[in-house]
Amino acid sequence: MNRLDQLRQFMNDDPDDPFNRYALALEYIKSDTTQAAALFDELMQKHPDYLPTYYHAGNLFEALGNRDKAIDILQKGITLAQQQREFKALRELQSVLSELLYD
């Protein structure tokens, strides 16, 4: 069983665990960005409080040329990081957003 198959199985076994969908999305970034984007969209819809999603989703949508969506995702992630008092994630999200806005 390859890594993608294993991660799909984990997601199928426990579809309510956001980490399983997140890990699968990260793996798909390497081979199928369309599928990765769809998984990140699902994560933000079904698990909007799962903070790790926002950094990678913002980067992916920016790389796919969807700058406005990337900015929106990063801004939502910043708000969430502030609410959750996750200051390392906050700094990382702010850094990516600053590069995107001022590049």
pTM of the model: 0.92
Tokens found for residue 44: 């933000």
Contact 89, 51 (CB under 8 A): yes
- Predicted confidence at residue 34, as pLDDT, reads 97
Note the pLDDT of residue 17.
96
Give the count of beta carbons closer than 10 Å to the beta carbon of residue 23: 18
Query: What are residue 15's phi and psi, to 5 degrees?
Result: -70, -15
Residue 103: predicted pLDDT: 72
pLDDT in 10s for each residue of the chain, 103 residues: 799 999 999 999 999 999 999 999 999 999 999 999 999 999 999 999 999 999 999 999 999 999 999 999 999 999 999 999 999 999 999 999 999 998 7
Quote the pLDDT of residue 1: 73
> What is the predicted pLDDT for the residue at 60?
98
Measured between alpha carbons, how far is 44 from 92 in angstroms, rounded to an integer? 18
Question: Strand locations in the chain, DSSP E?
Answer: none
